[in-house]
Amino acid sequence: MPSVSLSNQQTALVIGASQGIGLGFVRQLLEDGRFETVYGTYRRPESAQGLLALAAQHPQLTCLPMDVTDEASIAEAVSQLQACTPQLHRAVYCVGVLHDGDFQPEKSLRQISSENLVRSLQTNAFGAVLLAKHLLPLFKHDQPSVFAAISAKVGSIGDNRLGGWYGYRASKAALNMLIKTASLEYARRSPRTTLVLLHPGTTDTRLSEPFQRGVPPEKLFSIERTVAQLTTVMDDLTPADSGEFFNWDGTRLPW
Ligand SMILES: NC(=O)c1ccc[n+]([C@@H]2O[C@H](COP(=O)([O-])OP(=O)(O)OC[C@H]3O[C@@H](n4cnc5c(N)ncnc54)[C@H](OP(=O)(O)O)[C@@H]3O)[C@@H](O)[C@H]2O)c1
């Protein structure tokens, strides 16, 4: 007898849930009704107070520590997850770094450093494909599932007309290639899992805050709006969409 997916017994994971779009996804998933259990990862308790407070109120939510630049930390969190649940139906990679103190997006070649390039790549790109590696056993079931990584339109090589932000752009282009490539392997090994890249649109978070001047108010989305829009895109996906790069309105973006 085929196993039946009970629509309100699904499991979701948000990677990078301490704030911004990731924390917004956790709030949405707790309200969604389809997800019996929600897992959210955080890097350090100091910046995850909102997430940890939410977990204290909602037994449905479990928080797991994870630094995506450390594969052992990813493996440890995934093994904790596996001890609690055999199956995952939705995972959203919301981790990202654009600036942090002295670490700022490069305006010119003069500002390039390999150390900063490595940090962008490790955080924005390598973490996502390591998650695709470690989560594969949890996705290998016969119900539909989605693994979405939040990318960015500035990672589109075809769309790059302004220049600047070398490390961030390159890391998002690398993220796109890594997830596209993983989608082809998943199609063989876990064919009911759809892997996609999503551009959220400019969203009012810590990451965009220093760059919001000049963004027209109607183009600066609240976290709630972005999460609702990206949830609609994810809900409409089929395995035929796997490996694609979607804008927040569900249209395709150029690589
Ligand atoms: N906001 C926008 O306008 C916009 C536009 C396009 C794309 N995006 C993308 O959307 C995603 C979410 O960004 P956001 O705007 O919500 O930014 P945010 O508020 O700064 O959140 C970024 C998240 O990434 C986590 N993180 C950073 N480094 C990490 C690491 N090494 N290990 C684990 N977690 C780490 C942060 O955790 P801590 O709290 O520990 O720092 C935080 O939870 C990012 O991929 C970003 O590139 C955002």
- Considering only CA atoms, which residue is closest to atom 7 of ligand 1? 152
- Considering only CA atoms, which residue is closest to atom 5 of ligand 1? 202
Q: pLDDT class for 13, splitting at 50, 70, 90?
A: very high
Domain boundaries, the chain: 10-246
Q: What is the pLDDT of residues 163-206, one digit of tens each?
A: 999 999 999 999 999 999 999 999 999 999 999 999 999 999 99
* Cβ of 51 below 6 Å from ligand 1: no
Q: pLDDT class for 7, splitting at 50, 70, 90?
A: low
HEC-encoded secondary structure of 6-59 = CCCCEEEEEECCCCHHHHHHHHHHHHHCCEEEEEEEECCHHHCHHHHHHHHHCC
* C-alpha of residue 1 to centroid of ligand 1, in Å: 42
Q: What is the pLDDT of residues 57-76, one digit of tens each?
A: 999 999 999 999 999 999 99
Substitution candidate for ligand 1 out of 13, 15, 19 with most atoms within 8 A of CB: 19
- Considering only CA atoms, which residue is closest to atom 35 of ligand 1? 95
Largest CA distance in the chain: 63
Beta bridge partners of 221: 203
* Cβ of 40 below 6 Å from ligand 1: no
Phi, psi of 80 (to 5 degrees): -65, -40
Nearest to 93 by CA among 20, 159, 168, 44: 20
Q: pLDDT class for 18, splitting at 50, 70, 90?
A: very high
* Cβ of 152 below 6 Å from ligand 1: yes
Nearest to 247 by CA among 228, 223, 229, 221: 229
pTM over 0.75, yes/no = yes
Q: Which fold has domain 10-246?
A: Rossmann fold (3.40.50)
- Considering only CA atoms, which residue is closest to atom 34 of ligand 1? 16
